[in-house]
Every structure is written in C-alpha cells, then in structure tokens.
Structure 1
Amino acid sequence: MNEIFLIILSLSISGSLIALLLLLLRPIIKDRLSKIWQYYIFLIVIIRLLLPFGPEFSLMRMIFNQFESHITTTDVPTSASDTVHFLRLPDETPQEQTNNESVSMVTAQEDRKETLLGWWWLAWLVPAILLLIRKLVRYYRQTRFIKNSSGLIDDIHLLNMYRETCKIMGIKHAPSLAKNERVPAPMIVGIVQPMVILPDTSLKDTDIRLVMQHELTHYKRLDIVYKWLVQIALCIHWFNPVVYWVSREINRNCELSCDEAVIKCLDKKSRFDYGDMLLNAIKIDKMPSHTTVSLLLSDDAKRIKERLKAIMTYKKQSHKLVMVSVLLAVCLLFGAVCVGSYTSSAPNSVQQIPTDVGTPSANNITGTQTQTTPLEVAKNPAIIEEMEMRYYEDDDPDGRWPYLHWIITNNSDKTITDYEMACLAYDKDGNPLELIWQQIALTDGNKVTGFTSQSDESYEWIITEAEKPLLPGEKEDLNGGWSLWDGWNQSDGSHEVAYVLACMKQITFDDGTVWENPEYQNWLSTYKAQSIAPEILHTFYGA
C-alpha cells in the first residue's frame, strides 16, 4: 500500500504544479481568453490528479524513485524483473562485529521508518474513504429530497417550449421537467435520471426559454460528471489545499462558461434580457448554504455580479486568441504529461524469503556461511536461490582463498543446458569493486598454494556455468565454485568484497530456445560501477 500512497502523493504534487501555473497565468488570461476555455482547461489538472500516467523519464518518477531508494527498506531497489541477490561476507573480526552492530541499528531505524510509512498511507486512506462516503450520502439525500418535493410539469405550453429548446440544441433524450417552489433557482439534478427543476413558471416565455437553455447546456456538456470527477479528486487529495482552490475555480467557471455558451449566439439586447432573467430567476432568500454536487443557475451576490459583468462585456474571440488558446492548452497538456507521476521501479512484485543456510560437507571447504535472502520472481525461468562467499582452506592460512557459491532452481518447464549470470561486487562502504574474476587454483597435492589470473580487472563478470543439464524444478548446487581474487589481506585475514549483486542474463534450453532477460541492460546500467549505500545493501540480509 505504500506504493499507492507514493503514487497519490506524486499525482498531488504534479497536479498542483499545473494548477499553480494556471494561477500565475490567471491575471493574463482572465479577461482575454473565453470562459469556456478557462472552465475546461482545469480538466488537465483533474486528469493529472486522478490518472497515474506519464513517460518513463518524467519529473515525478525521477524524484520519487530517488526518494524511494532512501525510505523503502522492504522493496527491492531495482527496476529489473530478474532475480537480484546480495552477498555479505561472514563477520570474522571484532571490528567487523562492531560494524555489524552499527548496521543492525541502521536496519532497525529503517524498519521503524517503514512502519511509519505504513501509518502514513492509512492516515490518508481513512479520511479519503470517509469523505467520499459523506459526499455520496449527502448528494443522495439532497437529490432524493429535491425530486420527492418536485412535481412534473404538465402544462402543454411549457412542455412544448421545452421540446422546441431540446430540438434546437440537438438533445434527443431530454431530462424530465419539474417544478419545485422550494428550490432557490433553476437547477438540474441526478445523473441516471436527470431532472430540470424550475422554481417559478410564472416568468415570461423569453426568460423561461433562456432558463431551459442554460440548464440543458449543463446537461449536454455533462457538467455533473465533471463536477463528480472534481469531488473524487477532492476526496483523494483531501490533504492538498491547492485542490480545493481548483474545485472553487471549476465551480466558478462552470456557470460563467455556461452563460457564455448561451449568449454567444445572442445579440446585445438579448444578452441584457439574459441578465435580467438571471436576476428574476433567483430567490436570494432561499439560497442554500451548502450543496454537494448541484448545477444551480444561482450563485452568491459576488458571483452574480461577476456573471452579469461577463455577460455585458462579452465579445467573440478573434482567430488570433483562439490560436493562442489552443497553443496554451497543448503546452499545459504536454507539461502535465512530462511532469508525470511516480510508478514503482519494479514492474514485477518480489517476495523475500529469509533462509538459514546449513553447513556443507565438502573436502577442503570451510563451513562458514552467511544468512541469505533469495528473491523469487515468477516470470524468471531460473531463480538464484542462494549466493554466498566460501573459502578453500587447509591448515596453512596462506591457502585460504575465496570463491562464489550459488544454488539455482529451474523454474521453467524445460531443461536448462546453459546459462549466463552477471555479478557485481562492492566493498563494505558500498563502493563498486574492479576484481580479477577468473582464476585457476595452484595446488600441491590437496593443498591450494595460490591462484593464477586469466582475466583483467573489471566491475562486471559473466559466469557461464552448467555442470549438467538442469531439469524442470531441479536445483543446481555446485560443490565447488567460482574462484576470485578479492583483495584478501593475508596479514589480517580481511577481504575487500563485502557484497555481491547477481542477475541472470541469459538461459539456454535443451530445445535450442534462448531466454534473454529484458531488464538486464537496465539493471547493468543502474548498478555497474555505481555506489550503493551500505544501509540499503544491508537490508537484504535480515541481520
């Protein structure tokens, strides 16, 4: 659920950035661009607040993926869909044990941080659900009360005017027409069964036609759906004050744009008649203090004054301003897409399974092992169950040499004949290491006397190892291993390598088919020769 919380937070920030940009542009566009444009441009903000889409390289994804790498301790810090494994060497000196205790304290702090994050998403979710339920209940009660207290109009003259208006506006399935003297102004209520309600049918025919045209414009534009999208955004982003400002601006521009849509085909005298209708149709003494989602023709005194001014000063948009409007809308839409949203860097979920590794019985090999954490990804044909450092060892301390040991499980329904696995190494501070990965042991009888190198130093090494064909569901547990020189200091017995990161690159099956890890190059570019914080690495060992 923390992933969802981070997605919501990123959407809230990205939507706010676009909204604040509109706020900065408001003094410039307020009296220049059409009210219809100013109404619908906020759809970009609402969509940005609700839909977690965006390009792979977006601002929010970059910021939150960096943020996630520091605050998330239970998720894998990689975008690769392949199995990833870290290896930590066993503690051998008092100093190393002290360092391990320090790292354990860091891990405990990270665990507490993860617990806190868990409460964060819960603290967001509960108010969001309660707020949405409250709005739904209030809207249901309000709509039911208004409809139950309204009576369908049966006046033939009014019905004929209503049908004519619907025909002129191209509306085939018109809402019901009703009268309710208890409502403060003409309105349209309901989504499934919408109803246009008139508080006063004694107005002159011209005013009634304008009232009908206004309410049917709301119906035709699906303004009720727009407003519910806003309400959903408010519930999801209840903690963001910018979203409340966006809601007020949309409500304000809804009526202004509806007025503009009605009067754009009227002459100056008819616009004055429309303004008179606006005043005559409203019963100020009955205006409600709060409505959840309604499409009232009325508004408070300040808004009515603004609407009357907009009606009287209306001018048709020039072609130049229309082009500016379109260009500005495209730029804002492009900006909203580029800002993007957070998405998890791991496309496939992983399951961490701490495993206590037993002690092997093998000649000339130490039984010292570390606790490892295998990570399983269902889509991988082979899973690296375990990877650790072991040592060739005998009575002579100079004969103690390290090698990598691993266990791989065939997770497919085919026999694996060969595979390629990449390895990266890190020191105790999380710095990448250039190692001599390929060596041959020099022996004197059963005693290892040294190694000879067959490779240059490199950050990455591809291990190609197939002791025998690996049947479906079978494990490969090599008794030997891959010898490497890791900067072992014979004087104090310390080793340079502290962590190893492994990733399956390619798998060959007995039928000749080859599986190539599609995320391998992404994994390699992310981690090769890159430093990783030790406290992040350490979280993979459950120590």
Structure 2
Amino acid sequence: MTEWFQIFLVLSVAGSLLTGVLLALKKWTGKQFSPTWQYALWVGVLLVMVIPVSVKVPALVQPAVEKQVVQRIPPAEAELTVTEQPAPVDTVGAPAGEVLPFTEETALPPVPWWDVLAVLWVLGALGSLGYRLTGYVRFSRYIRRTGTPIELDGVPKRLRVSRTSATVSPMVMGVLRPMLILPETALTENCLPYVLRHELVHYRRGDILWRWVAVLATSIHWFNPMVYVAAAQMREACEISCDWCVVRSMEQAKRDDYMRVILELLAVAMAKKQILTTQMASEKKQLQRRFTMIRNQKPVGMKKLLLSVCVGTALLGAAWLTGCTLRETYVTKEPAVETADEIGGLAEEGSLLFVGVDEGGRADTIFTYEMSEEGKATIYSIPRDTFVTENMKIPYLLVQENGDEKLIQTVSEITGRPVKDYVRMDLTAAEAVIDALGGVTFTVPQDMYYSDPYQDLFIDLKAGEQTLSGKDAVSLLRYRKGYPEGDLKRVEVQQAFLMELFRQKCNPAYLKEIPAVMDAIKGHVTTNLIAEDVVKYGEELYHLKQNGMDAVEMFTLQNGDMYYETAQEGGGMGLFAEQSADVLTNDDSFATEQPALVPVGQ
C-alpha cells in the first residue's frame, strides 16, 4: 500500500506539472488547435495521473518468505574429527547502562510515516469515491423512477431513451447500459434535433468513460488541488469540442438556433451538475467560450492538425517520462515475494544454513550453525573453492535451476547433517546490517588491497584494530588474494569476524536496532524463517553468551580430493576464477569420500 501511495504521489506531481504547462499555454493553443485537440489533451493529463506505467521494470528482489517444513530422512552421520576451539574472552560489552533482560523492550520503533500517510490516502480516496458514487446512484435511481421509456428515430438501439419531468439538462449516463435522458422541454420540435445531435456525439465518442476517468483521478488525488482544475478543464473542453463537432457543417442561422436551444435548456434546468453524465446545458461561465467557438468555428488545416498531434504527443510524453523518472528515483519498491514452495530439501530437525552471495548470485560465504542439547554452538564453514563435481565448484550450484534446493542438499551431504533453516543474503543486506548496528571493531590481520573493475570491487584496508563500516566489513570478508593459504585463511578471518560480531552485538541493548536491520535487509534476503524463528535463534545465542560460552566449535570443511586453492587465484567472489591457468583440476568425484573437519586456525 505504501508503494502505491508513493507511485500515485509521483503521478500527482507529474500531472500537476503538465496541468500548469497547459494552463500557461491555453490562450495560444486555443487559437492554434481545434477544441477536439484540447479535449484529448486534458483526457491525457488525467490518464497520466491514474495509470501507473513505468519505463523500467522494477528489479526482482526476494524478501523473507513464510516458513516451510519438508519431511526428509537425514543421511547417516559421517565419521568426523572435531576439535573444540575456545571462544575469545568477552571483552567488548554493550553500551553502558543498556544491558537489559532479553525479552524486555528497549526502545520504541520509529513511526512509519509513509505507512501512516498511505493509510490516510486510502481512506481519503475511498471516502471521496464513495461520496461521488453515492450521489450518482441516488440521482440515477431518481431519474429511472421518474422517467418513461420512449423510442426515437435515429437513436442507436443500444442507447435507451427515457423522458423525464425532472428539471434537468439533456444527458447521457451509464457505461454498460447507456441511457439518454430527455426532459420535457427538450422534446419540442425546435429543440429535439439539436439535442439529439449533441448527445449522440457524446455517446459515439464514449465521453461517459472519460467522465469516469475524471472521477477516478479526483478520488485518487483528492489531496491535490490541481487534479480538480484538470478535471474541470476536461469537462469544459468536452462540451466545447462536442459543440464544435455539431456545428461543423451548419449554416450560421442554424448555429444561432443551436445557441438559443442551449440558453433555453440552461434557463429551465438550473439544478446542480451531475457527475458521470454528459449535460448539454453547462454552467453559465462556460457559455461565452462555447458561443465564441460556435460563431467562429473554422475547419482545421492539415498543417495545424499535424502540428497539434506533435505538440500533444510531446507534452504527454514529457509528463509520462517525468513521472517514470521520479518513480524510479523516489518510490520505494515493495519486493516481489518468493513462495516457500520454491525452497526445497529442508528437514524438520537439523542445522541453519547461511549463504552470502555475490553480485552474480553465486554462493561466496557458506556456513552452518547448530546448537547442541548440551548448549554448545557448532559452526561449519565450507570454502567457496570446494568441488561438488569434477568440473564445478559449490558457488555455482546456486545459479542453476532450483539452486537453493541443490545447495541445501549438497551441504547436507557434506556436513552429514540435514538442513532445517535456510538464509540467503546478498552484499547489500550484509553492509546495511553492519551499518545499522554501528559497525564492528575488529583487528585486520594484514594490509589488504585488491582491485577488480569488472566486478566493481575495490578493497583497501590497513592492518590493525579499527571499527569497520558495512562496506569495509564486506571488503574484509571478500578478500583472499593476499593470503598464502588462500581461501582457507579467508574462511578463518570470516569466522573470527563472525565471533566478534556475535560478541559485540548479541546483547539486548541492540534490540532497538531491529527495526533498522529489518528495513535494511528487506528485499535482499531469501529465507524460510519467520519472526518467531528469528527470536528463538536470538534467545539461543544470548543465553549461550550469558552462560559463559565455554566453547564454540568452529570448523572448516576441506578434503584433498575435493578442494584446491592457489595463491594466484583472484580476490573473493572472482568472476569464474577457477578458469585461471594456475588453478589445479580434479578428476575425482565429489561423492568418493567425506571431507575432513579442520579446526579454525590449523
């Protein structure tokens, strides 16, 4: 709803600008171009304001999805060697005076002003539209109750005719079941031919439909005064252009009779104008323009016709492109929702699989997390250069069809543990989360420099302790070229950073940052987790830390027959880096044996 409000707010701005331009040019265009051109252009203004069409197709993004549980028989446990890695001493605490019980609310979330405005907009639009439709329905019932069906020559069969004793102007009403309403005063021999010619022009052009567009526009943009101006100009241009069509082939004497009929009908039918109808006798202030056109009506030459088409197209196109540009720039697009059915291979019990992806959608950072019954957390990291087939590494599973499911199944086989929960996050989300938490203090192990213009990747970090922003933290996590151990060292640094992130930020004091974090990752995370699951994992980690965290088991999975690394390979998440001539190849099948578990730092 918020996105639609922002879209129509942008369209309101574009329509207002076009309305202002047309009002400024009204005297010039009135002399140069035909009344039909004026009418068509004002209809175009209202269409610009009600049709949310954009030049660009919004990028597909994937937010959190509903939880899915799939029955799965876990594979047999592999024979793994595990070694405990003591957790670092907790030397970084939460901000002073903000340590609270986990379940206590630490701060009120920010007021969602866009959501509030969107609700007010919807209420106003519904109220405005409801008020207009209620009045129209009442008037329609009154006319049908007091009217008597009649037949007239020259009237299309689909158009019903009804005579009424009400003091109204001749009009056509109804889109699906159109009806011509004729008061008694319009049925005289002198008036009827002119009335029929006028109203049949309205009927054949479908003017009732454009009246509905005007009502829709004024309801959607009820807060914008310019939309009422545009709607009034459209109604006036509609009557003038209808007169122009009626008198186009009339002699001057008949034109005078036509104007006399309009004055007679106006004198009798002084009732309030009705929306969603055509009324031959319009307001008094419009008569001067109508009569001036009727007296001075002249045929439009081909040059002026072509010029009017070009000018109208340019004005409407400029307004439309302006709206598209504003929409792409300022509208916060709601992410497309990926259904949980698209994530397969999950079990009822098992570990949480976290995957960080690069710009190309390839898996770069892969690790699993699981809490044992004894209250210890185990984290398995899988290097990105792990081969899963003879010629393919694990990052490229994700870019295949059903990539999430294939990656889940592969990780389950590698670790010997089924995957219960799944989180896939891109770089934008990782940067935003760390920035929302105020950065992470971390000791960079060495100077890091890497440049890859093809990936728009530039890393420049100095060794030593520092507070890393989201961008710097992602650079740290991606860097690997300068390590003698290659990707294995990068995994070790990633695990150390993860421990610091947990040690510094897993505290109730940061609960107040949850709204900012959730807003930051919106549209950049795919998961089967629901809110209750996130809270559960947060409680697990918090109680683990509160109980002392005697040990956190962290391991890097590798195997000589599956994994190859070379110092010459490019920086983290390089584009098809394994195609380098310096990278060794492997002829052994992935499924020949389970990988070994190597403790962090070894």
User: TM class, shorter-chain normalised?
Assistant: 0.5 to 0.7
* Deviation sequence 1:411-445 (CA, Å, 0-9, x none): 23576699xx9969979889xxxxxxxx9xxxxxx
* Cα deviation, residue 384, structure 1: 7.1
Match in the other structure for 2:118: 121
Q: Quick one: distance in 2 between partners of 1:14 and 1:109?
A: 39
Render the CA deviation track for 1:259-289: whole Å, top value 9, x for unaligned. 11111121222222211222233334x4212
Taking structure 2 as the reference length, what is the TM-score of the superposition? 0.54
1:328 is displaced (CA, Å) by 0.6
Q: Aligned pair in 2 of structure 1 residues 322, 488: CA closer, same or farther (>3 Å)?
A: same
Asked if 1:494 is matched to 2:491, the reply is: no
Partners of 1:345 and 1:404 lie apart in 2 by: 36
Query: Which residue, out of 276, 282, 286, partners 1:303?
Result: 286
Q: Indicate how the Cα distance of structure 1 residues 121 and 348 shifts in structure 2: closer, same or farther if over 3 A, else same.
A: closer
Other-structure match for 1:185: 169
2:208–2:276: 8 Å Cα contact kept in structure 1? yes
Q: Deviations over 1:345-386 (max 9, x none)?
A: 6674369xxxxxxxxxxxxxxxxxxxx99899xxx8979787
Deviations 1:298-317 (A, max 9, x none): 12222223322221121111
Which amino acid in the other structure matches residue 8 of structure 1?
F
Q: Matched residue of 1:317: which SS?
A: coil
For 1:221, the aligned partner's letter is R
Counterpart of 1:145 in structure 2: which amino acid? Y
Q: Which amino acid aligns with 1:112?
A: P
Cα 1:497–1:458 change in 2 (3 A) is farther
Query: How far 1:173 moved relative to its partner?
Result: 3.4
Residue matched to 1:28: 28
Q: Report whether the alignment pairs 1:326 with 2:298.
A: no
Q: Is the 8 A contact 2:365 2:383 kept in 1?
A: no
- Alignment map for 1:387-426 (pairs within 5 Å): 411-413=404-406
Query: Within 1, Cα distance between the matches of 2:315 and 2:14?
Result: 12
Q: Which whole-Å CA distance do the structure 2 matches of 1:257 and 1:18 have between them?
A: 21
Pick from 138, 142, 146 the counterpart of residue 141 of structure 1: 138
Q: Gaps spanning 5+ residues in structure 2: where?
A: 65-87, 100-105, 339-352, 370-380, 385-393, 415-424, 437-443, 479-514, 522-533, 539-602
How far, CA to CA, are the matches of 1:38 and 1:110 in structure 2?
53
- Pair 337,385 (structure 1): closer, same or farther in 2 beyond 3 Å: farther
Residue 260 of structure 2 corresponds to 276
Tell whether 2:33 aligns with 1:53: no
SS in 1 for 2:176: coil
- TM-score normalised to the size of structure 1? 0.59
Equivalent pairs, count? 390
C-alpha distance in 2 between matches for 1:299 and 1:243: 20
- 1:395-423 C-alpha deviation (Å, 9 max, x unpaired): xxxxxxxx9999999623576699xx996
In the alignment, the residues of structure 2 paired with residue 386 and residue 43 of structure 1 have an alpha-carbon distance, to the nearest angstrom, of 58
Q: What does residue 271 of structure 2 align with?
A: 288
Q: Secondary structure at the match of 2:266?
A: coil
Q: Could you say which residue in structure 1 is the equivalent of 2:110?
A: 112
C-alpha contact (below 8 Å) 2:60/2:336 kept by paired residues? no
2:173 and 2:179 in contact (8 A); partners too: yes
Distance 1:498 1:151, change over 3 A: closer
Q: Distance in 2 between matches of 1:422 and 1:126?
A: 37
**Quick one: structure 1 residues 191 and 93, their matched pair in 2 at CA, closer, same or farther if it must change by over 3 Å?**
same
Provide the C-alpha distance between the structure 1 equivalents of 2:516 and 2:184, rounded to a whole number of angstroms. Answer: 69
Shift of 1:179: 1.7
CA contact (8 A) 1:275 1:308 kept: yes
Displacement of 1:112? 1.6
CA distance in 2, matches of 1:91, 1:216: 87
**1:458: which partner in 2?**
451
Deviations 1:230-275 (A, max 9, x none): 1011111100000010111111111111111111121222222211
1:456 to partner: Cα distance: 4.8
1:64-103 alignment, distance < 5 Å: 79=59, 81=61, 97=95
Other structure's SS at 2:121 match: helix
Residue aligned with 2:181, SS = strand
Residue 127 of structure 2 aligns with which residue? 130
Alpha-carbon offset, residue 138 of structure 1:
1.2
Displacement of 1:322 in angstroms is: 1.2
- CA displacement 1:51-72 (0-9 Å, x = unmatched): 1112239xxx9xxxxxxxxxxx
CA contact under 8 A between 1:83 and 1:384: conserved in structure 2? no
Query: Counterpart in 1 of 2:542?
Result: none
The DSSP-based 3-state class of the residue aligned with 1:146 is helix
SS of residue matched to 2:290: helix
- Offset of 1:206 from its aligned partner? 5.0
- RMSD value over aligned CA atoms? 4.9
The one-letter amino acid of 1:349's match is A
Query: Partners of 1:23 and 1:231 in 2: how far apart?
Result: 20
Q: Distance in 1 between matches of 2:297 and 2:107?
A: 62
2:299 is the alignment partner of 1:316: yes
Counterpart residue identity of residue 405, structure 2: S
2:320 equivalent to 1:337: yes
CA distance in 1, matches of 2:232, 2:183: 25
Partners of 2:193 and 2:39 lie apart in 1 by 24
What secondary structure is seen at the aligned counterpart in 2 of 1:31? helix
- Greater alpha carbon shift after TM alignment, 223-232 vs 29-38: 29-38
- For 1:174-213, what aligned pairs fall within 5 Å after superposition? 174-200=158-184, 205=189, 207-213=191-197
The amino acid that maps onto 2:462 is G
Q: 1:320-360, CA deviations, whole angstroms, 9 ceiling, x for partnerless residues?
A: 22122111111012212311342566674369xxxxxxxxx
**Number of the residue aligned with 1:16:** 16
Q: 2:170 touches 2:182 (CA, 8 Å); kept in 1?
A: yes
Counterparts of 1:308 and 1:190 in 2: how far apart (Å)? 28
Which residue, out of 336, 341, 348, partners 1:349?
336
Kept after mapping to 1: 8 A contact 2:160/2:178: yes
Letter in 1 for 2:292: K
Unaligned ranges ≥5, structure 1: 62-78, 85-89, 102-107, 167-171, 352-371, 389-402, 431-438, 440-449, 463-483, 505-534
Q: Give the residue type in structure 2 aligned to 1:121.
A: A
Instruction: Output the CA distance in 1 between the equivalents of 2:219 and 2:256.
Output: 40
